[in-house]
Amino acid sequence: MQLSVLIQWLDATPGSVALRESILVYPLVETAHVLTLCLFLGMIVLLDLRLLGFGFQSVPVSEVAGRLLPIGLTGFVLMAISGALLFYSGPVRAYGNIFFRIKMALIILTGINALVFHYTIYKRVASWDRDPIPPLRARLAGLFSLLLWSAVVICGRMQAYNWFEKTPGA
């Protein structure tokens, strides 16, 4: 089955129609998605600043990561759930939106960046845990994370502007 057929089927389900036509629930879901940004990206940014050596330099890196990532991951789960609901409210529109596609690709890249960081330089964190300015590979991971997540937010916001959308039937 083609993906576009699945997307069209999903778009026509009663739940999807109800969600995008609702006066109260849709704005609430969207607000939840935007505000959990503080919980998720707020924590990620603080860790990135520590990795870059820009802030919280007296706090060990493992302490920042160990204490703030669980909070950030809670935010991520909330963002993923509200984001999935937003996608469900208009699958055809999202699927045809270039910013949505770029955003999904960028999120995969942030995951790869996090995994590489976690399984390489962070394995040896004991040797640089208290360094005010962490080693280059850790700084790069922090920089990539900041840039990629910023780009995700920008794409998410731009998704609302249908600049490059194909008009139906055109």
Partner 1 sequence: MDFLPLFQRLEATTIGTVVRESLWMFPVIECVHLLALALLGGAVLLVDLRLLGFGLVNQPVDLLARKADPWLLVAWIAIIFTGIPMFLSEATKCYYSPPFFCKIGLLAIASIYTFTYRRRVTRKLAHGRAPLTACTSMALWLGVGFAGRWIAFY
Where do contacts with partner 1 occur on this chain (CB under 8 A)? 27, 30-31, 34-35, 37-39, 41-43, 45-46, 49, 55-56, 58-59, 63-64, 67-68, 71, 150, 153-154, 157-158, 161, 163
Min separation Cβ 121 and partner 1, Å:
22
Nearer to partner 1, 7 or 110 (CB): 110
From the list 84, 82, 76, 83, the residue with the least C-alpha distance to 44 is 76
Q: In whole angstroms, what is the distance from residue 107 CA to residue 89 CA?
A: 20
Min separation Cβ 108 and partner 1, Å:
20
Token pair for residue 4? 């576009």
Contact 152, 110 (CB under 8 A): yes
Block residue for tokens 């991951």: 73
For the chain, the straight-line distance linking the first and the last C-alpha, in angstroms and rounded, comes to 24
Nearer to partner 1, 10 or 74 (CB): 74
Non-local (6+) Cβ contacts of 137 within 8 A are: 117, 120, 121
Nearer to partner 1, 10 or 25 (CB): 25
Nearer to partner 1, 7 or 107 (CB): 107
Min separation Cβ 145 and partner 1, Å:
12
